[in-house]
């Protein structure tokens, strides 16, 4: 019997780090695709890593922030969402656990910065992150999470 090698999509995570002041933490991407564009902190899930652990790890690596997962925002699976190939993103609404810490870029992020919700329309975002952020704010607004 011949075994076929499975060639399914890759799994990624994204953290939508927002707070009661309606701000969101974004990173400026260091590498292609979308080099120098603003994006949500996130990345690929490592082998044998839980997605919840991956989102906390990536947020720390790219922003220097410690976060807590509040709620699942959604799963984004459009095969065309990433020019590198089919990537499914599991996205979490998160909040900072240490408000005194300022975000700073690290790992794949040139810089990290806090943006006000009303200023997001002026920013060109990578991937489908504008949609993800809109979904996260809808969820936060409906759930009165703060």
Q: What is the CATH number of the domain that holds 18?
A: 3.90.79.10
Enclosing domain of residue 119 = 10-143
Other Cβ atoms within 10 Å of 91 Cβ, number: 26
- Total domains present in the chain: 1
- Residue 1 in any domain: the answer is no
pLDDT at 143: 74
Does 114 have pLDDT greater than 60? yes
pLDDT at 10: 96
* pLDDT tens sequence across 35-88: 999 999 999 999 999 999 999 999 999 999 999 999 999 999 999 999 999 999
Counting residues of the chain whose pLDDT is more than 70, the rounded percentage is: 95
* pLDDT tens sequence across 128-143: 999 999 999 999 888 7
Measured CA distances, 63 to 11, 42, 67, 100, 115 (Å): 21, 10, 10, 13, 13
Give the confidence band of 20 by pLDDT, cuts at 50, 70, 90. Answer: confident
- Residue 62 in any domain: the answer is yes
- Residue 39 in any domain: the answer is yes
pLDDT at 101: 79
- Residue 4 in any domain: the answer is no
Residue the block writes with tokens 């979308």:
34
pLDDT at 98: 82
What's the mean per-residue pLDDT of the chain?
Answer: 93
- Check the CA dihedral 72-79-24-50 and report its sign: positive
Nearest to 38 by CA among 27, 25, 23: 27
- Residue 2 in any domain: the answer is no
Q: Which of 5-9, 14-18, 119-123, 137-141 has the lowest mean pLDDT?
A: 5-9
Token readout for 5 is: 């090698």
Q: Which active-site residues does the annotation give?
A: 111
């Amino acid at each position: 019997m011949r075994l076929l090698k499975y060639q399914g999509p890759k799994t990624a995570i994204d953290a939508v780090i927002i707070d009661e002041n309606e701000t969101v933490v974004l990173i400026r991407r260091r590498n292609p695709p979308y080099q120098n564009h603003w994006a949500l902190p996130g990345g690929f899930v490592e082998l044998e890593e839980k997605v919840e652990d991956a989102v906390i790890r990536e947020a720390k690596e790219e922003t220097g922030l410690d976060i807590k997962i509040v709620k699942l925002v959604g799963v984004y699976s459009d095969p065309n969402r990433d020019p590198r190939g089919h990537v499914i993103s599991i996205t979490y609404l998160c909040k900072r656990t240490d408000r005194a810490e300022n975000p700073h870029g690290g790992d794949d992020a040139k810089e990290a910065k806090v943006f006000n919700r009303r200023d997001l329309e002026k920013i060109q975002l990578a991937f489908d992150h504008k949609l993800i952020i809109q979904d996260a704010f809808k969820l936060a607004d409906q759930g009165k999470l703060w």
